[in-house]
Chains A and B, each alone.
Chain A
Amino acid sequence: MMLAWLILVPVLGAVIAAVSGRAARDAPRWIALAALAVELALTVAIAVTAPGGRWLAHTHWRWIPQLGISFRLDLDGLSLVLILLAIGLTALAVAASWREIGERVGAFHSNLLFTLAGIVGVFLALDLFLFFFFWELMLVPMYFIIALWGHERRVYAAIKFFIFTQGSGLVMLVAILALALAHRRATGVLTFDYFALQGTALSPRIAFWIMLGFFFAFAVKLPAVPLHSWLPDAHTEAPTAGSVLLAGVLLKTGAYGLLRFVVPLFPQAAHAFAPIAMLLGAISVLYGALLAFAQRDMKRLVAYSSISHMGFVLLGVFAWTALSLQGVVVEMVAHGISTGALFIVVGMLQERLHTRDLARMGGLAAELPRLSALAMLFAIASLGLPGLGNFIGEFLILLGSFTVNRSLTIVASVGLVAAVIYALALVQRALHGQPHALRPAGAPLLDLGARETTVLAVLTAAIVWLGVYPRPLFDAAAGGLDHLQQGAPLIAVASPAPTPAPNSTPTPAPTLALTLALTRAERPR
């Protein structure tokens, strides 16, 4: 029951926010924040009062019994971490769009909260039909956010976003149905329950195709390289809050899907597919970084850097070692924070300069010292400086993947160098050098106000905390991750390392020691 409230609270908030827009201009903002506070309190309460074990909470209702569909929500550590991330980023998105969104404020916040409801549903649903339901549902409000409040080419970007994600979702629907019907043929029971379907006996060929259907949808959302072309447009054209939610949370649903569904449901097929997926991951890392460097539009640069970061996630998921999975979780959270922050920074710059063109910036450090310092901080967080969150994530992913696929890991680690180039190029071009001649002179630029400072301070604290003391995050996600990995151990064991059998058995002990050593070493001194 509690879990259903996690979805209902944002929905109720959305309805009230939509109505309240008429009463007062700023009322929807406060209502959205209040709904998010309630949501946060509820999540924390559920996590704290949880009995322990893998599943922290559980809801199971009949929904469409004739088709074996139930309303089933389960919360484990992985979901908990991602839901907290989603709530936090939504709150910051509300704060960041305080001045940017001046029209139809009620509708905007209503859409924002509906998106959150869909996202929370995706992270909780363990009935495949229900999962698909939320998966599709979260697209609609996001579509409206982009199409209504976006920048110049918003309609194009919104339609492209919708068609890519909805279309790939339909492929997943076919895969879900193929799986459920295969299960019915084997057992005579039609069900969409995650746990029932987990043990479905499938011929390797069928399993591979069904797995591919799921992978396709998640790889579009992640995005992995050949399927990424919606992302730069959507992220660039969306309003700041939309970009934050897209990059911070919506992309994570793709990673979550890979973790929760692709590998556990089809361990063998996923294992067979792992080299290709890891290759796509490595390509995404490099390609995203290279294209980020080539951008003039600051927002587009940040968008391409997302592709690079998500390449690491894809690599780590399909390496499927304890280390790489922990790295994936940290990377997801760290990317949510650092990229979210960068989008907010871009939004703030655009409010002041009315451009996102890097060629028309320059020399901002002198005029906007505080904003520039923080922009610099998030840029170097994005390039993976030790001491900040992204470093932990990327380092653990590379470390965990190295035992599985050496060559691809080496290729991907080159991406860290490329990240330095694009991140520093951003800093160089926007903040240093001479101010651009065309910038309207006259009114001096205002540095950060109290609201903006608060938003960025929270993000700064989070990214530093994640960089120096990620232990609580590991602990929170551990319960979920361990079970996921035990449920589908095949990839780690039969890794495509040169000598399979003798080499793979002793690995767990040293990796565990390494994790502990690493997390200890990162404590504040």
Chain B
Amino acid sequence: MALKLPIFMDAQSTTPADPRVVDAMLPYFTEKFGHPASRNHPFGWEAEAAVDRAREQIGALIGARDPKEVIFTSGGTESINLAIKGVVEMYREKGNHIVTTAIEQRAGLDVCRRLERHGVEVTYVPVQPDGLVSVDEIRKAITDKTILISVMFANNEIGTIQDIAAIGKLAKEKGILFHTDATQAAGKIPINVESMGIDLLSCTAHLMYGPKGIGALYVRRRGPRVRIAPLIDGGGHERGMRSGTLPVPLIVGFGRAAEICREGMAEEGPRLARLRDRLQDAILSQVEEAFLNGHPERRLPHNLNISFAYVEGESVLMGLNKETALSSGSACTSSTLEPSYVIAALGASTELAHSSIRFSLHRFNTEEEVDCVAQRTIEVVQRLREMSPLYELAKEGVDIKSIQWKAE
């Protein structure tokens, strides 16, 4: 069978919608177009029932006790904003301190930076070289002013899965609310907000084969009852936490996507992990000085992040972009022109942050695609090394760190 190019292996940026998801959505654009808040006619009832069903499907994916704990938003970014800013505003009298990590995704970090300008204190707990946050470090960061611990479930670049249950337990012990950004983890690995002590959880549909433009925030209703101030005022939808007409087709798609993920997780996770391991083994066995970033075991099954010494990430992507869609932590691929702060936070040299490549697999990738991507990556890295002055210096036995580089 001929391979269809380009191969998409950037599934931590977004995923294709599953055709079953699209099928579920389509009727809700046309014949079932009602407004779920229309309480007095069948169009509204039909829409409300569809939204409630989606709430149940998403609630079931994360182990929520009550589907009403699921609040719809426009996506992961909004959920993270709503969770953190909503708690800070609502619990202002209790304290003004947040404990988070240095490797949260941009939304989490940027919300915290903005809040810092408004007098909130934030502690960014560093991560260990394997990407794990030490629960003890979180414990040490807690003060009597701490109102929220916000730690991502799994990292978007390196896939490292944090010890969420231990952090949840610590939060309960201290009586502090616990938010987790599960945008990358939800639908991929088991999550249970009850057993893990999660009070708020952000997730998004488009990373689990659902549509773009819809996300959810889980807000615990019992033990404790979490209250958050809304970001958007209006008609009081979503129990006053998020006003605005619910996008029913997107919500229906999100629900179906969550259901498919939950039902298939036990098969899909190990299958993607096997493909990922095949990719990893092929590359690491054939390329010298290629380094795995993140924790080798505690990571998402579909994530692989490798730094290739002596070559710059964007140039690797450029060599592959006709055949393969990947992503890099290189400064040249980011809007900020800064290299990956995640790889840098692991304590790796900045040079290796520029050299990191993320492969993220999805439901529809095949073994054949994995073999093609591995082969082409190896070829491109070798070609670029042949034209890299750093590789040449290293081959001559020169320690690159001993050279007095003049940074621009």
Q: Are A and B co-members of a single complex?
A: no
**Which chain A residues have a beta carbon within 8 Å of chain B's beta carbons?**
none
Residues on B facing A (Cβ under 8 Å): none
